[in-house]
Amino acid sequence: MMPIRFQEYARRIAKLSIECKLDIIEDKYVESFNPGMMDVVFQWVNGSSFAEVVKNTDIFEAVKIQ
């Protein structure tokens, strides 16, 4: 389950995207986010090496690379 605040931000982005004439479906856009990857992404953007990120998670490597 995605945290409520995260859902709110995703929904706001979806609504703005629709206003800008992007062809998206709001609910599908909101549901497309995987909050389980937030820690992994946070580590990566803050300079952790791929090896460190892999060590700190149990998510299958192919999923991380995508």
The per-residue pLDDT for range 7-65, each reduced to its tens digit, is 999 999 999 999 999 999 999 999 988 777 788 888 989 999 988 888 877 766 545 45
Instruction: Reply yes or no on whether the pLDDT at 3 is more than 80.
Output: no
Task: Name the token pair of 18.
Answer: 């629709």
Domain boundaries, the chain: 1-33, 34-66
CA distances for 50 relative to 4, 18, 45, angstroms: 29, 35, 11
The DSSP call for residue 59 is S
For residues 18 and 24, the answer to whether their CB atoms sit within 8 Å is yes
C-alpha 40/C-alpha 21 separation (Å) is 32
